[in-house]
Amino acid sequence: MQKVKGTYDVLPQESNQWLFLEKHIHEVMKKHHISYIRTPIFEYYEVFHRHNEASDMVIKETYDFEDRSGRKITLRPEGTAGVIRSIVENKLILPNHILKTYYIGANYRYERPQKGRYREFFQTGIEIIGEKDPILDAELISIAYEMIASLGIKDIVVKINNLGNSDARKQYKEALQLYFEPLKDQLSEDSKHRLYTNPLRILDSKVPSDQALVKQAPILNDYLSETDQSYLNEVMHILSQQQIPFQHDHNLVRGLDYYSHIVFEIQTNIEGFGSQNALGGGGRYDHLVSELGGPEMSGIGFALGLERLLLACNLQGIQFHDDIQYDVAILHMDNHSKKYAYQIYKYLQQHKIEVNFDFSNKAFKTQLKNAIQTRIPFAIIIGEDEVHSNSVQIKDLINQTQVKVNFKDILNYINKR
């Protein structure tokens, strides 16, 4: 049997970094008073396939199936829609109230697997609903940035743009179509198709010949209202006050159609990262809440890819200091003393001592060698004599001294040392 294409196992020898990363995420969220939400891994088809969501991801990459009762179900391809569905369904949106919530979980997309791109992958993200204010946009971006930078990851930059309101986008789309139509034959197949479905997506095509044409294309900024231009300027001003490195990228449009107004991506130029250089991204959505049955209320969110965060950490040599530091190893001489040793192990564990107990039946010498190699400072040694006298030998593995201690004094002795 093999794993499904595009998936991966987290094996015991690498799971520590996952636990470390998840802990880091929860800590940053707690610091910012953002509350955790967990929604199902699958939703009704309509949650993701809304009438005006025509992004490639939703059209071509979702895992859709019917359950045994014929209900149409979709595996979650991204976090936002399910979270908004839940917030609306549970009536968490209140007037004059800002709701801040975060998630961590698996997503599923039928994409071509490559470095940094899987069919099952994990994201963490924040959604903030209830106000449209440049300070909130900057706050959200700064938390995303902090989440990455405080891991120690360097060489990151925030790319930011404003997609404007629907009128501006409509005018801009027409301008793009006018510009690209005479050049249609030079466009890649995907971009030719996008010319009529979603011309904005041509702007972030990775095909070099498309990119060459994009250079001369009209710029979205020229179609923005003054209000939208100054909104973006204000967000950028706050980011610079916070010393967050950013660039205004006129061609940043992001994949999902629900984005309107501010969009951003956090990219890295770490060597060896490959072409999938976005650690995460997000933006404002003015109509998603109402599309999912809630009031007309603007929200903003981001999602970071956990695999890419770990890849960045690994490429930059960042260590995860979450390995267990044992206080004491328990070593036994034979099978009979192993049972007594096991009792001591459980006793010390209950009293919050980090104990290493070897469940195998290795020879005493090997157990001792392993304890020294693992740099455990003390060994509790148990043989027939200790079993009969209800005591233990405690050996200081650094100073090579050894004392006999009664069972009732073990804890005291270890705590003192």
Nearer to ligand AMP, 33 or 112 (CB): 112
Verify binding: residue 56, ligand AMP, rule CB under 6 A: no
Verify binding: residue 157, ligand AMP, rule CB under 6 A: no
State the number of CA atoms in the 13 A half-sphere of 387 facing the CB: 15
Tokens matching residue 27: 């800590």
338-357 positions binding ligand AMP, by CB under 6 A: none
In the list 48, 102, 121, 273, the residue contacting ligand AMP (rule: CB under 6 A) is 121
Verify binding: residue 117, ligand AMP, rule CB under 6 A: yes
The stretch near ligand AMP (CB under 6 A) out of 22-30, 174-182, 299-307, 377-385 is 299-307
Verify binding: residue 280, ligand AMP, rule CB under 6 A: yes
Verify binding: residue 118, ligand AMP, rule CB under 6 A: yes
Residue 6 C-beta: closest distance to ligand AMP, Å: 8
Nearer to ligand AMP, 111 or 190 (CB): 111
What's the rounded Cα separation, in Å, for the pair 313 and 306? 11
CB atoms under 10 Å from CB of 51, counted, come to 7
Q: Give the strands of the sheet with 391-396, arranged side by side.
A: 355-357, 328-332, 378-382, 391-396, 401-406
Nearer to ligand AMP, 201 or 308 (CB): 308
In the list 134, 199, 301, 305, the residue contacting ligand AMP (rule: CB under 6 A) is 305
203-242 positions binding ligand AMP, by CB under 6 A: none
Secondary structure of 46-71 in HEC code, one letter for each residue: HHHCCCCCCCHHHHHCCCEEECCCCC
What's the rounded Cα separation, in Å, for the pair 352 and 346? 10
C-alpha distance from residue 191 to each of 205, 213, 216, 329, 364 (Å): 7, 11, 16, 63, 69
Q: Tell me the site size for ligand AMP, rule CB under 6 A.
A: 17
What's the rounded Cα separation, in Å, for the pair 86 and 103? 12
Nearer to ligand AMP, 200 or 279 (CB): 279
Verify binding: residue 278, ligand AMP, rule CB under 6 A: yes
In the list 137, 228, 257, 307, the residue contacting ligand AMP (rule: CB under 6 A) is 307
Residue 109 C-beta: closest distance to ligand AMP, Å: 5
User: In terms of residues, how long is the chain?
Assistant: 417
Tokens matching residue 311: 């890849």
**CA neighbor of 117 nearest in space, from 254, 308, 394:** 308
Interface residues with ligand AMP (CB under 6 A) are 78, 109, 111, 116-118, 121, 123, 255, 278-281, 303, 305, 307-308
